[in-house]
Structure 1
């Protein structure tokens, strides 16, 4: 008996038993939708203009004004670091690196890249690798690496750091005062709060919960007006000369703030939200119910808002790490910033792993080593790079906030494909979906291991487990 022929939807990867069924599916699910040329997101054709105005469109007059203002005030506003567009990335791993097309599976996406864009291994190597002059992998010994961290990466302690912290608290209090609704609760996140920021850059997330939002739907409805009102009030404040507004997103207000005393730059992301979880869930059942609602949610904006409620737990997970681990996190982030070729017009839709994913992978490797208090940063870096080379085997989970018996966790882990780094506070989200370029990460990691910093380096206690890699 012959096997049934299947018809696959090129748009989402689903299979159907007949061409008629496929055509019906395409008309119902995809007809009328187009891809935004600037971000690749699929939107309804009639809402494309609204999407562009909210997320991308700026007049030439605005662009020129922003450029002139930046040049007059601080020429170093244009930093290399770039915030993620969303609090949680949505299926980024299945989007093409060279065009806005999205697919149902990673396999169909990779097949498309090879067939349509001739994305061969050689071309991947050319488009991925770009070691800059200040890359750490060209150092000759561990002493140079330690000196680099102390002089260039780790925030400088002392009076300047205290002054910086004072101004950060002042600007957060200003945000709270300017917020147009009564604030019931405020939580902070980002590299500055977690202690993984560097000397010249930090990001700060501020989530403001208000009881004025009756429910999630009411919050979504009021958000645009609330965000715009907050932005206007901040521009009229006495701190306006040190606040440079950035492109706002659907759910947040963004700006950069320059500390007056030590010229440190902080990238702020202000996110109003309806408090769905509360400050301290009284029972495990409340959190399980929250995860169930998140798992069943199909609205991308609502998923973002659910995830904001988990920010405090994400911060605690990273913040409790030792200072040595945070130095290792800074090194790995610096490696990402200085080892990859900058995106071009050909691969402008390439997305590397998020900074949060990098933090989680680093902590996982440290835990595999037995959580040593003192350790060689070269050994730690080498272990992480060797792990990235084996990304197809990556499966990282923690069970502090959800147990192995949690039904949502079981469902998610059964359907996820490698690599997997499950958010320790959110069993519904695989952090690896932030990226569609894990093969490029593995290639650059492999090249980095051949550099002078790791030349002749052998695994030592407690990193002997890497010998099997």
Structure 2
């Protein structure tokens, strides 16, 4: 009755093939239009983001377009002209897209380095995020590592230009992830999916670096069993605050770790030694949630129970009666975690009685932590029975957790 990780990947995690094909067609159209910009000589457009790297998760897809422009002599020239470049691309894209069929664009914002917009795929009317980044070519393809070292030296000296240089070496960051085997990308997708649903607090890039580090430590195999690798990733997350991850593909990391006084946790960008991908600002120094979620996922792997592992990756998935029962089990598992994290009274005050009737077909803009169930057409008596069973089980679980809290702390909290 349980579901394998492979089936779960296909059903819930990997983006739909038709969606990917549609998005590819739309992005190719945008790239073609960019190449035709009347004011700029475009050398190439490099596709990044989760769609460009092949690590996108269903419902969480984005793309970065690195637009290599030939019109500017150096980084200073690019920096001085950047506001006008971004404004010109915005006006141009909004104008030319009106003449294209099957594509819509909505401008969402700007940063000093990027134009941000959404693109709508014609097939399923889904919108996905696009960041357009104007850059110049600073790398000699005949000697990439030497060229990059020159760039890193300039980044160290020219602090005011550091972010502009960083965008120009983003190609190496993209390629670092893009060319790992498909199996590694599936592992990245699974951890990203868990991160979204459990609100762990890790960035997508941080997860990519973490997974690739584990994969490299295992000898960089093209194929592997997923559950043991998830366990090793979860184990690293459980000790996140003590972790330093670096790569020596393009530079000697020890120099920059020492020079910049970096302390764990450190997740150094393999293409930019001045970029630490650890979520320092996001968690504000409190890594307890990340550690706890990592221990919980690791425990599911150690139990060697596929259904429990999937439950830990997501609290609710699928459709039909079994899905509804599974979602209740996921809610109870989440309740157990919350009780372990807080005093019992706080946990109980936050528990709300779920709607036990089948959900409507209308999609709400809920966050990824929400529990959704699908309409099955069964009688209300079945839903009532399931609801009563869930409430009774929840009461037993809460009672057990209270007793446990009054006698001793959970062993996992002492890691």
- Scaled to the shorter chain, the TM-score interval is 0.5 to 0.7
- 2:37 is aligned to 178
Please give the alpha-carbon distance, in whole angstroms, between the structure 2 residues aligned to 1:278 and 1:368: 29
CA displacement at 1:208 relative to structure 2: 1.8
Deviation string 1:223-256 (CA, Å, 9 cap, x unpaired) is 1122112111211222496111112112111111
The answer to whether structure 1 residue 254 and structure 2 residue 116 are counterparts is yes
3-state SS of paired residue (1:303) = helix
Please give the alpha-carbon distance, in whole angstroms, between the structure 2 residues aligned to 1:285 and 1:235: 40
Please give the alpha-carbon distance, in whole angstroms, between the structure 1 residues aligned to 2:37 and 2:188: 34
- 2:129 is aligned to 267
Please give the alpha-carbon distance, in whole angstroms, between the structure 2 residues aligned to 1:328 and 1:312: 22
CA displacement at 1:381 relative to structure 2: 1.8
CA displacement at 1:436 relative to structure 2: 4.1
The answer to whether structure 1 residue 359 and structure 2 residue 359 are counterparts is no
141, 152, 166: which one pairs with 2:12? 152
Please give the alpha-carbon distance, in whole angstroms, between the structure 2 residues aligned to 1:235 and 1:332: 36
3-state SS of paired residue (2:77) = helix
- 1:211 is aligned to 70
The answer to whether structure 1 residue 379 and structure 2 residue 240 are counterparts is no
Please give the alpha-carbon distance, in whole angstroms, between the structure 2 residues aligned to 1:202 and 1:436: 21
Equivalences, count: 301
Larger proportion of helix = 2
- 1:325 is aligned to 184
CA contact (8 A) 2:269 2:275 kept: yes
The answer to whether structure 1 residue 370 and structure 2 residue 219 are counterparts is yes
Query: Once superposed, what is the RMSD of the aligned Cα atoms?
Result: 2.8
Change (3 A) 1:398 1:245: same
408, 417, 420: which one pairs with 2:263? 417
CA displacement at 1:338 relative to structure 2: 0.7
39, 48, 54: which one pairs with 1:189? 48
CA contact (8 A) 1:354 1:435 kept: no
305, 318, 333: which one pairs with 2:164? 305
| Bigger shift: residues 429-438 or 385-394 | 429-438
Change (3 A) 1:387 1:284: closer
CA displacement at 1:393 relative to structure 2: 2.5
CA displacement at 1:324 relative to structure 2: 1.1
Please give the alpha-carbon distance, in whole angstroms, between the structure 2 residues aligned to 1:279 and 1:434: 34
3-state SS of paired residue (1:427) = strand
* Matches for 1:213-232 after TM superposition, within 5 Å: 213-232=72-91
The answer to whether structure 1 residue 287 and structure 2 residue 151 are counterparts is no
CA displacement at 1:297 relative to structure 2: 3.0
| Bigger shift: residues 360-369 or 219-228 | 219-228
Please give the alpha-carbon distance, in whole angstroms, between the structure 1 residues aligned to 2:163 and 2:205: 15
3-state SS of paired residue (2:112) = coil
CA contact (8 A) 1:199 1:264 kept: no
CA contact (8 A) 2:43 2:69 kept: yes
Q: Structure 1 length as normaliser, TM-score?
A: 0.58
Deviation string 1:122-175 (CA, Å, 9 cap, x unpaired) is xxxxxxxxxxxxxxxxxx96x443222101221334x66444423321111112
3-state SS of paired residue (2:5) = helix
CA contact (8 A) 2:195 2:202 kept: no
CA contact (8 A) 1:420 1:430 kept: yes
Q: Structure 2 length as normaliser, TM-score?
A: 0.65
Which segments of 5 or more consecutive residues in structure 1 lack a partner in the other structure? 1-139, 342-351, 459-468
3-state SS of paired residue (1:247) = strand
CA contact (8 A) 2:68 2:136 kept: yes
Change (3 A) 1:279 1:235: farther
CA displacement at 1:335 relative to structure 2: 1.0
Please give the alpha-carbon distance, in whole angstroms, between the structure 1 residues aligned to 2:280 and 2:73: 31
3-state SS of paired residue (1:242) = strand
Change (3 A) 1:457 1:297: farther
CA displacement at 1:279 relative to structure 2: 5.2
- 1:123 is aligned to none
Change (3 A) 1:194 1:229: same
Please give the alpha-carbon distance, in whole angstroms, between the structure 2 residues aligned to 1:236 and 1:270: 16
3-state SS of paired residue (1:219) = helix
CA contact (8 A) 2:75 2:165 kept: no
- 2:363 is aligned to none
25, 28, 31: which one pairs with 1:169? 28
Which segments of 5 or more consecutive residues in structure 2 lack a partner in the other structure? 307-414
